[in-house]
Amino acid sequence: MIFVAFYRKMIVPPKSEDIAFEEFLKELPADYSEMAYEFKAFTRSRKIKTLAHLLQVVML
């Protein structure tokens, strides 16, 4: 029982996925959306409406 209490104190809660993804977007170049269209990585939207949503789906 003592080990379990000690172990719980050592665990650091993970960042939420949204915060981690926002940090990921900040690290991308400023013109990443233009580059995605230029290289045809994101040409038309159907169910995935934005480039950020596409990146989030791919990163899952």
How is the chain split into domains, by residue range?
13-59
**Residue 42 · residue 51 · CB < 8 Å:** yes
**In one letter, which amino acid is 57?**
V
Note the pLDDT of residue 59: 80
In this structure, what token pair is assigned to residue 53?
């949503």
Note the pLDDT of residue 17: 73
Q: What is the mean pLDDT of residues 17-35?
A: 88
The proportion of the chain whose per-residue pLDDT surpasses 70, expressed as a percent, equals: 75
Tens digits of residue pLDDT in 5-22 = 555 555 555 567 778 888
Model-level pTM? 0.59
